[in-house]
Amino acid sequence: MKQGMLKPGMVDVFGVLPHIKRRIKDIYGTQRNFAKAIGVTDSHLSDALCGRSGYPKGMLPKLGIRQKTYFEIMDIPTGVGARGSE
């Protein structure tokens, strides 16, 4: 596996939202039903799905999603930093 590539079944923070929405619909039918199941208001869940607030506690495990973090190491642009600017 090349550096920076995700394993099958993994998505980054930008690609997880469609999976979250699909699982809410497949498992709970509606966002309202899911909000009730995890004990939050409809508006809180909506805000989280639109990026206006963080995900409610317990939301991802109820959908069978585990959150992890990864970092991508990119090339350093030339002329940046003390060593490259002399």
Place of tokens 């590539």: 5
In which residue ranges of the chain is pLDDT below 50? 1-3, 86
DSSP code of residue 63? T
Asked if residue 80 lies in contact with residue 51, where contact means CB atoms within 8 angstroms, the answer is no
Q: Model-level pTM greater than 0.85?
A: no
Closest CA to 58 of 66, 46, 70: 66
Position 5 scores a pLDDT of 61
Position 83 scores a pLDDT of 57
Asked if residue 53 lies in contact with residue 47, where contact means CB atoms within 8 angstroms, the answer is yes
Position 16 scores a pLDDT of 86
